[in-house]
Every structure is written in structure tokens, then in C-alpha cells.
């Protein structure tokens, strides 16, 4: 079964649009992008397009690649203090030389639509309500909408990044999965991934997950967005793994669109001032 993130995200955006209208919400999202990485600019454009689609106002702050950390912090302080701004996100990665941790920590945690602020990461860790990082949240939505059970199941995550690997591990743990997080130093990776009921690959390496690493029936979630010869592809060797997996996300059209849908949901939730997303 192909897990159609593109279709599901489109349906969720439609529902959100109706909710925003009905509740007479008028949320405003501010995006901050530093430098000229083409992929980052494309993702920010996609976010603004989604805002327009669902009725969220949006403003963008673009800063040149040679901007100092202090200038970024000053700009975020202004957004924090602006009562018209509900949500703030800083598009990652930031150019080398900018202190990413200080920048993220400077966002008002109550406006942190990405859920990356250390306070919100702590809320995630403890299971307290708060905005959840968008890609992990989107994966949990996909699993639940396709009725893929997590409770008591073995989840294996490949990649321990702060924005995807670790938070999806925590969300799956809160959903009663038995979680293993693998990384570049993991020995016998294939042996571990073959034990999974749910395999999430967020390694950022094209084709790292091959058919011999997947057991029949496994659900395979591909978070990779790798460019190979100018073509977008995931971490999973899709054509061979598709034949073995019980469920699999494509790239494009899987996790990516769910990331954007989750961002819209987080922005609306923050505007409602009720972050109720326990997952």
C-alpha cells in the first residue's frame, strides 16, 4: 500500500480552511529565511502558498547569507514583540556561521510553530501539550489516518537528528511503540531494521534502505529529500522495497506534504492559543 501523503495533506488543508473560516480565526505566520539556498526558498514559498490556501496570513523576512547572528536575533525579537504575529519559523538549515541554537532559542516558545524551541522539546519529552515538530507530527498523522497500529509495535528510526529522528522517536514512544533509534555508528543496521514493524528513515542518504533491510509487511516511512542527478529521491530504494513493504511513503508525495499540512495545523492551534497535540 502506498501512503499518499500528498492526497491526505490536501484533505487536511481543506478541513483546516473550513475550521479557520467557521471559527473566524485570522492567524498570521512569519517565516524567516537567511541566505539563498534554492531548496529552502522553495519550501518557504510552498509554506506561503499553503497559508494562502487555508486562510492564514503570512509575512516573510529574507536576510542575506552574510547576515550576523545578532541581526537574526534582533529581527526575531521584533517578531516576538509584534502582537499581530501568531507564529514564527526560521527556515533550516541556516548558513554556516549563524548560531542556529541561539536563533531557535530566541523565538518566543508560544509562537514556535516548528516546536523546535528547547522548552517545546521539553514539553514533547515529558508528554506535555505543545506544538510538535512538523515532520514527525505529519508522520504520526499518516500512520493514524491509514490505521497503522503503533501500540506494542517495534519502531526503528534511522537518523538521530534533533528536528526529525529524536522527536519521531518520542512521539512513537508516547504512542506505545517500542523504539530503537539507529545512527551512523550503529552496528548491524540491517539486522535491526529487519525487526521493525514501522521503519522511519531520516538519514538523508539516497538509497540507504534496501530490500534486504526490510521484513515482509513492514511499514516504511521515508523522510529523505536527496537530490541525485537533479532528481528528488528518498532514503529508500523505492522500487525494490515497495515489493516487500506492507505500506510505504513515496518521495515526492509522502512525508513532505504532511510537513506543510502540520505546519498549518500548528499555526492555527497557536492562534487558538491551545496546543493540544499530544501524540
Q: Is 232 in the site for ligand LMY7XDAE (CB under 6 A)?
A: yes
Count of residues of this chain found to bind ligand LMY7XDAE when the rule CB under 6 A is applied? 18
Q: How far apart are CA 279 and CA 264, in angstroms?
A: 17
154 assigned binding-site residue: no
Helix (H/G/I), strand (E/B), else coil: 8: helix
225 assigned binding-site residue: yes
Q: Which of 112, 114, 163, 197 is catalytic?
A: 114
Q: Which of 4, 47, 222, 269 is catalytic?
A: 47
41 or 194: CB nearest ligand LMY7XDAE: 41
Helix (H/G/I), strand (E/B), else coil: 217: coil
Q: Which of these ranges, 88-96, 180-188, 193-201, 209-217, lies near ligand LMY7XDAE under the rule CB under 6 A?
A: 88-96
Q: How far apart are CA 125 and CA 130, in angstroms?
A: 11
C-alpha cell at 9: 495533506
The vertex-258 CA angle with 253 and 260, nearest 5°, equals 110
C-alpha cell at 208: 540507504
Q: Is 92 in the site for ligand LMY7XDAE (CB under 6 A)?
A: yes
Nearest to 42 by CA among 256, 234, 242: 256
Q: Which residue is nearest to ligand LMY7XDAE (CB)?
A: 256
163 or 218: CB nearest ligand LMY7XDAE: 163
The tally of CA atoms less than 13 A away on the side-chain side of residue 276 is 6
The residues in 244-273 that bind ligand LMY7XDAE, with binding defined as CB under 6 A, are 251-253, 256-257, 259-260
CA distances, 6 to each of 202, 254, 277 (Å): 19, 6, 22
If 0-12 CB within 10 Å is exposed, 13-18 middle and 19+ buried, where does residue 235 land?
buried
Cβ atoms of 235 and 224 closer than 8 Å: yes
Kind plus residue range of the DSSP H or E element containing 116: none
The residues in 99-138 that bind ligand LMY7XDAE, with binding defined as CB under 6 A, are 114, 134-135
Minimum CB separation of residue 272 from ligand LMY7XDAE in Å reads 21
Q: How far apart are CA 171 and CA 174, in angstroms?
A: 5
Q: Is 87 in the site for ligand LMY7XDAE (CB under 6 A)?
A: no
135 or 219: CB nearest ligand LMY7XDAE: 135
Minimum CB separation of residue 116 from ligand LMY7XDAE in Å reads 7
The residues in 32-51 that bind ligand LMY7XDAE, with binding defined as CB under 6 A, are 43, 46
Q: Is 47 a catalytic residue?
A: yes
Q: Taken in order 151, 155, 161, 163, is the CA torsion positive or negative?
A: negative
75 assigned binding-site residue: no
272 assigned binding-site residue: no
- The catalytic residue positions are 47, 91, 114
Q: Which residues lie near ligand LMY7XDAE (CB under 6 A)? A: 43, 46, 89-92, 114, 134-135, 225, 232, 251-253, 256-257, 259-260
Amino acid at each position: 500500500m502506498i501512503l499518499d501523503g500528498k492526497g491526505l495533506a490536501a484533505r487536511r488543508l481543506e478541513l483546516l480552511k473550513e475550521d479557520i473560516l467557521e471559527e473566524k480565526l485570522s492567524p498570521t505566520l512569519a517565516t524567516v529565511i537567511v541566505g539563498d539556498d534554492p531548496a529552502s526558498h522553495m519550501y518557504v514559498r510552498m509554506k506561503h502558498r499553503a497559508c494562502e490556501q487555508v486562510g492564514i496570513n503570512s509575512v516573510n523576512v529574507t536576510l542575506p547569507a552574510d547576515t550576523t547572528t545578532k541581526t537574526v536575533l534582533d529581527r526575531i525579537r521584533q517578531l516576538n514583540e509584534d502582537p499581530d504575529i501568531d507564529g514564527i519559523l526560521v527556515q533550516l538549515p541556516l548558513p554556516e556561521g549563524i548560531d542556529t541554537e541561539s536563533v531557535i532559542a530566541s523565538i518566543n516558545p508560544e509562537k514556535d510553530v516548528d516546536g523546535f524551541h528547547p522548552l517545546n522539546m521539553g514539553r514533547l519529552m515529558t508528554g506535555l501539550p505543545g506544538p510538535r515538530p512538523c515532520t514527525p507530527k505529519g508522520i504520526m498523522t499518516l500512520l493514524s489516518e491509514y490505521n497503522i497500529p503503533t501500540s506494542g509495535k517495534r519502531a526503528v528510526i534511522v537518523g538521530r537528528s534533533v528536528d526529525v529522528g529524536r522527536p519521531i522517536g518520542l512521539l512513537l514512544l508516547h504512542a506505545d511503540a517500542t523504539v530503537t533509534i539507529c545512527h551512523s555508528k550503529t552496528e548491524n543496521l540491517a539486522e535491526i531494521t529487519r525487526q521493525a514493524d514501522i521503519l522511519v528513515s531520516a538519514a538523508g542518504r539516497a538509497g540507504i534502505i534496501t530490500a534486504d533491510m526490510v521484513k515482509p509487511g513492514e511499514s516504511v516511512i521515508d523522510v529523505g529529500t536527496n537530490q541525485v542527478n537533479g532528481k528528488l529521491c528518498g532514503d529508500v530504494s523505492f522500487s525494490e522495497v515497495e515489493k516487500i513493504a506492507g505500506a510505504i511513503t513515496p518521495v515526492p508525495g509522502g512525508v513532505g506534504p504532511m510537513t506543510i499540512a502540520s505546519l498549518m495545523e500548528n499555526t492555527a492551534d497557536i492562534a487558538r492559543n491551545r496546543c493540544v497535540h499530544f501524540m
